[in-house]
Chain A
């Protein structure tokens, strides 16, 4: 099976712009989670989508949003970019089949976003 894929791998934006990142989960996985990784804060949970609905949300401002499509692919959007948004954005998919279920999360290679 192909792993989790993310596009683009690298992105450079300027303050105030917006950005959309894409994630394709492992085939058959319906849960997609997004994480931000920075040297100072480590890996922090952004949100999870399951069957096209946001199921969990981390402690990030409303400038961070996402969505999931019927084929389980997910996109994440950051509006009005700030310098502090520079980070590695990772998505992870899991095979969990129920709202109460849990399963191993497999990570994609990430998108490295640099905000100038």
Chain B
């Protein structure tokens, strides 16, 4: 199948670092997206990994290991506004398969 698994909820403290993991069980994906979605809003693009390794964009970094079917999103220097759902999505020919999303709560 094309399962994409990520934790349902995570809690972290303002200023800390949090890592959100995503695992997938198919070889059909040619890349992995991460999106952020605030309640009641549309998902917004964070990162897209095609090659193995770490890609850094400011406070956000994303890692991919295709051989292990594993990705993570790393958020540094957490801010209250980072409280949102984080969605990983496998890409197969421009068709995205989404995980259930991880709801991150940032506490003061």
Contact = CB atoms under 8 A, between A and B. Distances in A.
A42 B101 contact: yes
Nearest to A109: B42
Contacts of A105: 33, 45, 94, 96
A14 B41 CA distance: 25
30 contacts: A4-B42, A31-B94, A33-B94, A35-B98, A42-B87, A42-B100, A43-B43, A43-B87, A43-B101, A45-B96, A48-B94, A55-B94, A56-B93, A56-B94, A56-B95, A90-B42, A90-B43, A96-B94, A100-B93, A101-B94, A102-B30, A102-B31, A102-B91, A104-B48, A106-B45, A107-B35, A107-B43, A107-B44, A109-B42, A110-B42
Given A107-B42, A109-B41, A33 B99 contact: no
Nearest to B99: A42
A94 interface: yes
B65 interface: no
A27 interface: no
Nearest to B94: A102
Interface residues of A, number: 27
Given A31-B94, A56-B93, A96-B94, A104 B44 contact: no
Interface of B: 30-31, 33, 35, 41-45, 48, 87, 89, 91, 93-101
A35 B42 CA distance: 11
Interface in A46-82: 48, 50, 55-56, 58
Contacts of A43: 43, 87, 89, 96, 98, 101
B95 A45 contact: yes
Closest 7 CB pairs of A and B: A43-B98, A107-B42, A56-B95, A42-B100, A102-B94, A107-B43, A109-B42
A100 B94 CA distance: 8
Given A42-B98, A102-B94, 6 more contacts: A35-B96, A43-B43, A43-B87, A45-B96, A58-B95, A104-B33
A114 interface: no
A54 B31 CA distance: 22
